[in-house]
Amino acid sequence: MESANGRSSLNHTKALTLISFTIGMADRGFPLTHEALTSYALEIKCIQDPNAKKFSSSWTQKFLSKYGDYISTKWSTTLNGVQHSTLSMHLQ
């Protein structure tokens, strides 16, 4: 599948590999950011094509839209924010 700018995206098998990795990381308590997802996708792509170019800034949105049956996004707070709230409660 070619993107509008001529860059090739991940094929279905490689996309499922990325999804499996992403879910595994989330299960371990390390959900991926959009930037990390793009970075790992590029690493997978470079195995097939060492000269692969970066994905566009909107690539993760398109990827998540296409593979929404497998993976989704959720908003969360940072651990530092949670720690701060907890510490503030105990200091009052």
Q: What is the pLDDT of residues 6-62, one digit of tens each?
A: 445 899 999 999 999 999 999 998 889 999 999 999 999 999 889 999 999 899 999
Q: How many CB atoms lie within 10 A of CB 31?
A: 15
Question: CA separation (Å) from 67 to 48, 50, 78, 87?
Answer: 21, 25, 26, 39
pTM, to two decimals: 0.71
pLDDT of amino acid 74: 74
pLDDT band (50, 70, 90) for residue 3: very low
CA atoms within 13 A of residue 14's CA, in its CB half-sphere: 18
| Residue 2 reports pLDDT greater than 50 | no
pLDDT band per the 50, 70, 90 thresholds, residue 81 = low
